[in-house]
Amino acid sequence: MPRLPYARARTKRYAPTNWKKATFWLLVLFVVSTVTVVNKSGVEYPRVNILHWMQSQDEDKTQDDDHFVQFQQDFSGNMSWEQVQETRVHHMMRACTSLNLNQTLDYVVLKHILVDTRHKALMCFVPKVACTSWKRVWFWLAGLLDEDDDIMALTRAQVHGPFLPNLASTMFPDARREEMLKTYKKFLFTRHPLDRLISAYRDKLENYDDESNFNFHKHVGQEVERMERGKVTGSGHNVTFPEFVRWVTPPNGTWTVAQKNEHWRPMVELCAPCAVQYNAVGRYENLQQEMNASLHWLKAGVFADRFPSSDRPFHAAELRQEYLQRLTSEDKLRFLRTYLLDFLLFGYDMP
């Protein structure tokens, strides 16, 4: 029997009417269960009013929680960097415990943790969170380049190549890896989940990444079109933001390899904060100040104020409302379902 084309097979497998009804009730159940989990967990999380978030458009956000804003973004007020880190780490650990989250250190997590044996430091890098800039600096920290060498001379292929040591490397046997996880300083930098997703969409699909060895329009954009439209209509070059959001948030809970790409995979999955006892959590939203503080904390202050600016500065926070308006209530709920733990563990508020 000849195989049906994708669009016809998909229509035959899922009756549209029943599918929409099932999706609606699943989303209702998700809202109710999410509110219940958060309320009973004891995790301090402002603005968890999901229905309000779904309906929000261009309204201005009120800064009614100065302490939370300070916790989320900067430490220029009465809190020192160390105090802010204590607050963030405590919040993250409490969320892991309250929500009973059990994570393991799989290959994906280990591969994302860079190793600096000179300063006894581990950093989990997250794509679209100043990842390229941090990797350039890591060439200095790990001693792969001299202090006077120009890290901007490194190509993107070199920066993201196999040169930087990570915990997944065979050079670190299990015993050595466990020792470093226990004794080294461990940190990561995070970004607002929606801003990060917008940045990934703009970088990889809305624009054209001619420096990447991976053709995102061909391997990702065309898959989005097939799954959302039933056929490829624009060769992956005209995927809309709502289509992209629906694609990275499959309602059946199963993902393709492309859907799990590190550029939009949840930060919680990449860094496993409930399995790794991080000592510090930096914020992309206040990158320069927190990066400098992090380098001084690592006893590598000589590199402070030398952090390279992004060569692809997508100011997603300024575009948040513009892109948010393109999403339906169902799209927003699917996004929240997929990235909920990033919001909860890292203390970000709803847009």
The per-residue pLDDT for range 297-315, each reduced to its tens digit, is 999 999 988 888 765 555 6
Q: In the beta sheet, which residues pair with residue 122?
A: 115, 186
Residue 64: pLDDT above 90?
A: no
Q: Which pLDDT score, from 0 to 100, does residue 210 have?
A: 61
Residue type, 269: E
Helix (H, G, I), strand (E, B) or coil at 16: helix
Q: Is the model's pLDDT at 72 over the cut of 80?
A: no
Tokens of 123: 């950093």
- Give the pLDDT confidence of 4-18 residue by residue, as tens digits: 343 333 333 334 445
Q: What letter represents residue 103's amino acid?
A: Q
pLDDT over threshold 60, residue 276: yes
pLDDT classification of 205: cutoffs 50, 70, 90? confident
**CB burial class (10 A; 0-12, 13-18, 19+) of residue 108?**
middle
Helix, strand, or coil (residue 57): coil
Mean predicted lDDT score pLDDT of the chain: 81
Closest CA to 122 of 191, 173, 178, 175: 178
Residue in 189, 192, 209 with CA at minimum distance from that of residue 320:
192
Asked which of 175-189, 207-221, 334-348 is least confident by mean pLDDT, the reply is: 207-221
Tell me what the mean pLDDT of segment 159-172 comes to: 95
3-state secondary structure of 190: strand
Tell me, what's the pLDDT at 308? 80
Q: Do 189 and 284 contact (CB within 8 A), yes or no?
A: yes
**pLDDT > 70: percent of the chain:** 74
pLDDT range class, residue 1, cuts 50, 70, 90: very low
Identify the band that residue 39 occupies on the pLDDT scale cut at 50, 70 and 90.
low
Closest to 218 in 3D by CA, of 161, 202, 209? 209
Split at pLDDT 50, 70, 90, the class of 221 is confident
Alpha carbon separation from 252 to 182, 225, 274, 317, 346 (Å, rounded): 37, 18, 25, 30, 26
Q: What is the pLDDT of residue 306?
A: 87
Choose among 26, 28, 29: nearest CA to 18: 26
Residue 220 binned pLDDT confidence (cut-offs 50, 70, 90): confident
In this prediction the pTM is 0.80
DSSP class of 168? T
In this structure, are residues 149 and 86 in contact, taking their beta carbons and an 8 Å threshold?
A: no
Q: Are 220 and 161 in contact (CB under 8 A)?
A: no
Q: What is the pLDDT of residue 227?
A: 87
Which one has a higher pLDDT value, 192 or 37?
A: 192
Highest mean pLDDT among 38-52, 105-119, 228-242: 105-119
Best CA proximity match to 194, nearest among 35, 27, 347, 336? 336
pLDDT confidence band for 317 (50 / 70 / 90) = low
**Start-end of H helices in the chain:** 6-13, 16-41, 50-55, 66-72, 81-98, 107-111, 131-141, 156-159, 174-183, 193-201, 216, 222-229, 241-248, 267-271, 287-297, 316-324, 329-346
Half-sphere exposure of 65 (CA within 13 A, CB side): 13
